[in-house]
Chain A
Amino acid sequence: MGTNLLDAELVKRVQAGDKAAFDILVQKYQHKVVNLINRYVSDQTECYDIAQDAFIKAYRAIGNFRGDSQFYTWLYRIAANTAKNHLASRARKSPLYSVDIDDAEHYEGESRLKEYTTPENLLLTDEIERTVYRAIEELPDDLKSAIMLREIEGLSYEEIAEVMDCPIGTVRSRIFRARDAIDRELRPLLE
């Protein structure tokens, strides 16, 4: 079952009323959606707000998703439209955003921003990337090669087996062990 089939299976479950399946889709695509929205809106807080709206819209509309396109292209279209609508709405409301300098400290947007930027909720990507790459550096070469070929080059298990001249089962095992080793380093940051 490939990614598309996996998505299709998850979508089918959501359409049958399985919310947990949608949670998996959210976890899977949240960062890609946020990155997409980030091209329209630079503010991270707004990005997450819009991304949240986009996922809620997708959830509401998923009953009408017939699988004519891939789920992620459908989701990205919703996210892009939500971001554009947000920009249009913000342009219409722009006079409301002007805050008198004396009232700046009581500005509502400021408190909203503070709420989102609490260190409990947000982690710097740099820190995660540093941790991941440090963990990769400590891996044995065969595990490191396997995970790099998979995640960075995007090769399939068959292709990696050919490149590394080893059975597919070995590739599968190496990739899993590499992930597990990196995960042990990453988990304290994310939990």
Chain B
Amino acid sequence: MSEQQDKLSSLMDEFSGDEQSRRMLDELEGDVNLQYRLRRYQIIGQAMRHELPRQIDTDFSTNVMAKIDAIGSCPGNAAAARPEANTRPSIWTWSVMKPVAGLAVAVSVAVVSVTLWQSVNVGVDTGQGSEQLVSADQKKIELLARQQVQTNAVPVTSSLSGGMRWKINDSAPALQQKLNAYLVNHTEYSNSIQGLIPQARVAGYDAQQ
């Protein structure tokens, strides 16, 4: 036992060979009494140099090791010691992700720019086109107006009595037939809910004809 304590004293004073130190460490780890002795030897030196803290927690190392056991820490888990490291991507990831992210942003900006440019240009073009269309429509209206003026207008009235049908004077039965056919064919475009089911809709039905 005395030889062991002598070796412990030497170990503390850096006066052991590598192999002897390793053997001593092995013994130290398995012997609590030897650990306590080492701690007392260290306290002796610190007391002589006045290096001891004002108060000494005799259970300090026991508490530290108990806490380490309790939280299940494993050595090498540096990320746990530096929480910010968990959220920071690795150098490799960042070196790859940086150009990809940059490219993605550039492509997005380009797409938005082209889309906006096109819509602006289309707006300008449609302005011109609409002018052309308006002028074309205007010509058509003027032409129709002129035709209306030239032809004798036929008085037309609509009536919902006895079904939806057009009432035109008897002098133009062909026109009446044509208008009623138009009504039947286009009834699905009416605002009524029935317009949604044209196949179930019977419009312009006239029981007399």
Contacts and interface: CB of A to CB of B under 8 A. Distances in A.
Contacts of B50: 129
A118 B172 CA distance: 119
A79 interface: no
Interface SS of chain B: helix
Given A1-B18, A18-B29, 9 more contacts: A31-B52, A31-B53, A56-B64, A60-B78, A61-B82, A63-B78, A151-B45, A157-B15, A186-B40
Interface string A57-94: 11111111000000000000000000000000000000
29 contacts: A1-B16, A5-B18, A9-B22, A9-B25, A10-B25, A15-B76, A19-B68, A22-B68, A23-B65, A24-B38, A27-B39, A27-B61, A30-B64, A31-B46, A31-B51, A31-B52, A32-B46, A47-B53, A63-B76, A116-B57, A121-B59, A125-B53, A132-B44, A132-B47, A151-B44, A157-B13, A176-B9, A183-B44, A186-B44
Contact of A182 (B6, B11, B16, B44): B44
Contacts of B36: 190-191
Interface of A: 1-3, 5-6, 9-10, 13-15, 17-24, 26-28, 30-32, 34-35, 38, 44, 47-48, 51-52, 55-64, 116-117, 121-125, 128-129, 132-133, 136, 147-148, 150-152, 156-157, 172-173, 175-176, 179-180, 182-183, 186-187, 190-191
Interface in B74-123: 74-78, 80-82
Contact of B54 (A44, A56, A175, A186): A44
B209 to A, nearest CB: 92
Counting chain B CB atoms within 10 Å of each CB, which of A14, A125, A172 scores highest? A125
Contacts, number: 198
B60 A13 contact: no
A131 to B, nearest CB: 8
Given A19-B65, A60-B73, A121-B57, A152 B40 contact: no
Contacts of B59: 121
B57 A61 contact: no
Nearest to A14: B75
B61 A151 contact: no
Nearest to B41: A179
A35 B75 contact: no
A38 B10 CA distance: 30
B143 to A, nearest CB: 83
Contacts of B53: 31, 34-35, 38, 44, 47, 125
